[in-house]
Amino acid sequence: MPTFNTVNAIDYVLIALYFVIVIWVGFYAARKNKGTDDFFKASGQVPWFMAGVSSWVAGFSAFMFVAAAGYTYKHGSGALIIFTGAFWAYLAGYFYFAPMWRRARIAAPLEFLTRRYSPSTTYFYTVTAIVPQIVGVAQGLYILCIFVSAALGFDRQAFGFMGVSLTGLQATMLVVGAVMILYSVVGGLWAAVLSDAIQGVIILVMSLIILPVSLAYVGQGGGLLAGVKRLVHELPHDYLVPSGQPVEFWFLSAYLISGLLGYNVAWHFAQRYNSVPSERDAKKMAMLGAWLSLIGPLMWTLPVMGAKLIFPDMHALWPNLQAPEEASFVSLAMLLLPHGMVGFVVAAILSATLGQANDAFNWLSAAVTKDVYVPLRKRLGFAPASDLHQMRTAQVTMLVIGVSGVALAFVISKLGGAFAFGLKYYSIVGPSFSMPVALGLIYRKTPWWSGTAACAAGFATTFVMLWLDPWPGQDYARNVLSAVVGSTVVFVISAWFWRPDDPKSAGAIRLDRDLRTPVVEDNRPGGHGAMQVYAVIGNLSLIIGLVLLACWFVPATRVAPAFINVIGGGLLIAIGLALRWVAKPPGGKFEG
């Protein structure tokens, strides 16, 4: 039985440091929010590299280090086909969707639906999306805190809070949820982008370390090459050569379609593309995301394939988990990394999920404020809401959504979890919402009601398939493909009813003209939103790096020596210095 480095006081310091950084980022970002244009899309002044890293980090969460690790442990190299699929989706963004979103000239994501279809379509999407987004936040928080509470040793403990007894899992959800809500409500999109950048640095350093360390351990003293040889010679052939579900035609087709939609027409991606100064920057952002999505999964999945040799019986290690293979990545970290870096890994997984939740808060609060509250207030005869009033409304909306998500996570935890249900749930909800957006962005000559009709058709087709239950065992592919087909058929039929002389078609005609007209590049100086934010991320990287260097003196083991902390600290310091150099203005002094 291997000896794990469970979280100790040193690891708690790093985790607490990360929480302090995230909260500080929220308040730092609040200084940049002069109005809703800043709060919702950072005034279009986010540097493209930072926006690209932010979009990449937003594409995964604890799912990548828990569920995806379990999938890799079971399926081997076939998982690489699945988890590098975002590369192709980002390429579609580079060649088409990135410039189109930039040309849409929208302040809030769902404003696109108003321009392309009608205000009623926006109301329909906003109202129907609230519950799925709250469920998504709750699911992500619950899955994350299962891992975190176990890693911290809280899973078997009880805590008292304001006279109420909480399990370790519930206490973890309460603390993590509070941090998540606080920095999202205060900071807006700037907080999301800055925290995503920090998360990207953390995940990069963790990945650069866990890959060679795990392969060297598999090599049993013979080095990295010996580890690779063991993988090739000792793992089963069908584990090394893609086989099974990852290469099944229908499953793979559905997965790639879902990725194409998720990485191009999800609302938080629309926000990112509108947060950079120009179309050219939006395309650079998409290309960066493509390469990160190709390289990143290689660094995460290869160590987990090695875990198949290191931990041949995961159930014996984690008998209380329903899917013990999902603990394969964290098992590697707790075996091979010293104290300090263990806390670093927990912080990385925390960071990824918090960033994803922040994106959900941001676009939904923007939709409720810009596309529902402001028009409804005007229709009821009230005075127009000031820019500050709109920003405060968005913050209150974020607060309500966040608190609801934490509360629902408590309910899910009492039900014993619903991870498998969650995967099926998103295969039902996602494509039906996304297809009318993608189709409407590509083809603009359909009537104002076609978006709502196509969305309803996607749901109707999916629910009919659920009721009839054809192709058992292919639920995921069936749900995705039936929604895509149902939405597309109704959308195509609606084109026969297009009338350019209909007054309700005027918005779509104007949008079509805008999408054919490149956006004039914004040549404003950096001001309050551009290059100096690299210095902020650089300074934070230096702080974390110095803390890790200090962990050289922490007691360690032969398997997990303390010099790994020094390597991690050195990498962070190098990244921090490089970012400060990039941010340095021509005059040699940073802006105050």
SS (H, E, C) 348-400: HHHHHHHHHHHHHHHHHHHHHHHHHHHHHHHHCCCCCCCHHHHHHHHHHHHHH
**Domain of residue 24, CATH code:** 1.20.1730.10
Domain membership flag for residue 25 = yes
Note the pLDDT of residue 45.
67
CA–CA distance, 405 with 507 (Å, rounded to integer): 35
Domain membership flag for residue 327 = yes
Domain membership flag for residue 221 = yes
Q: The tokens of 174 are what?
A: 């309460």
CA distance readout (Å), 160 to 28, 90, 165, 167, 483 = 32, 46, 5, 9, 46
Q: The tokens of 155 are what?
A: 């899973």
CA–CA distance, 586 with 15 (Å, rounded to integer): 36
Q: Following CA atoms 196, 548, 14, 152 in sequence, which dihedral angle do they give, to the nearest 10 degrees? A: 110
Domain membership flag for residue 46 = yes
Does residue 195 contact residue 27 with C-beta atoms inside 8 Å?
Answer: no
- Condensed to tens digits (0 to 9), the pLDDT of residues 529-544 reads 456 778 888 888 899 8
Residue with tokens 């790096």: 545
User: How wide is the angle at C-alpha 406 spanned by C-alphas 403 and 409, nearest 5°?
Assistant: 150
Q: How many CA atoms lie within 13 A of 354 on its CB side?
A: 36
Averaged confidence pLDDT in the chain: 82
Note the pLDDT of residue 481.
95
CA distance readout (Å), 218 to 71, 148, 238, 337, 421 = 20, 26, 20, 14, 35
CA-derived radius of gyration, the chain: 24
- Strands 164-167 and 158-161, sheet pairing: antiparallel
Q: Nearest Cα to 578, choosing from 45, 204, 287? A: 204
Q: How far is CA 566 from the centre of its chain?
A: 29
Residue with tokens 């918090």: 354
Cβ neighbours of residue 461 closer than 8 Å, sequence gap 6 or more: 482, 483, 485, 486, 487
Q: How far is CA 391 from the centre of its chain?
A: 24
- pTM exceeds 0.85, yes or no: no
Q: How far is CA 153 from the centre of its chain?
A: 26
Domain membership flag for residue 306 = yes
For helices 328-336 and 168-218, angle between their N-to-C axes, nearest 10 degrees: 70
What 312-316 contacts at long range (C-beta under 8 Å, 24+ apart), as own/partner pairs, is 314/73, 316/1
Helix (H) or strand (E) holding 308: helix 279-310
Q: The tokens of 138 are what?
A: 């709750």
Strand stretches in 156-291, DSSP E: 158-161, 164-167
Q: How far is CA 146 from the centre of its chain?
A: 18
- DSSP structure class, residue 560: S
User: How wide is the angle at C-alpha 231 spanned by C-alphas 566 and 77, nearest 5°?
Assistant: 100
Note the pLDDT of residue 346.
79
Does residue 67 contact residue 82 with C-beta atoms inside 8 Å?
Answer: no
Note the pLDDT of residue 324.
79
CA distance readout (Å), 517 to 226, 512, 513, 565, 571 = 56, 9, 6, 51, 43
CA distance readout (Å), 33 to 28, 105, 427, 538 = 10, 20, 36, 21
Number of domains in the chain: 1
Q: Nearest Cα to 45, choosing from 370, 521, 592, 365? A: 521
CA–CA distance, 440 with 113 (Å, rounded to integer): 9
Domain membership flag for residue 454 = no
Q: How far is CA 485 from the centre of its chain?
A: 27
Q: How far is CA 244 from the centre of its chain?
A: 27
* Domain span at 321: 9-417+499-524+563-573
Domain membership flag for residue 493 = no
Written as tens digits, the pLDDT of the chain (592 aa) is 577 777 788 888 888 887 787 777 766 666 655 555 555 545 556 788 877 887 787 666 566 777 788 889 988 999 889 888 899 999 999 999 999 999 998 877 778 999 999 989 988 888 887 778 788 778 777 777 776 776 666 666 777 766 677 777 778 888 878 877 776 666 555 666 677 777 778 878 888 898 999 999 999 888 889 999 999 999 999 899 998 888 899 999 998 999 999 899 987 788 788 878 889 999 999 999 999 888 888 888 889 999 999 999 888 887 766 677 878 888 888 889 898 888 877 776 776 666 666 666 666 777 777 777 887 888 888 888 887 788 788 778 878 888 888 888 777 766 554 445 566 777 888 899 999 999 999 999 999 999 999 999 999 999 999 899 888 888 889 999 999 999 999 999 999 999 999 999 999 999 999 999 998 765 554 443 456 778 888 888 899 899 889 988 888 888 889 899 999 999 999 999 998 888 776 555 544 3
Q: Nearest Cα to 274, choosing from 431, 101, 113, 117? A: 101
Domain membership flag for residue 86 = yes
Residue with tokens 């699945």: 82
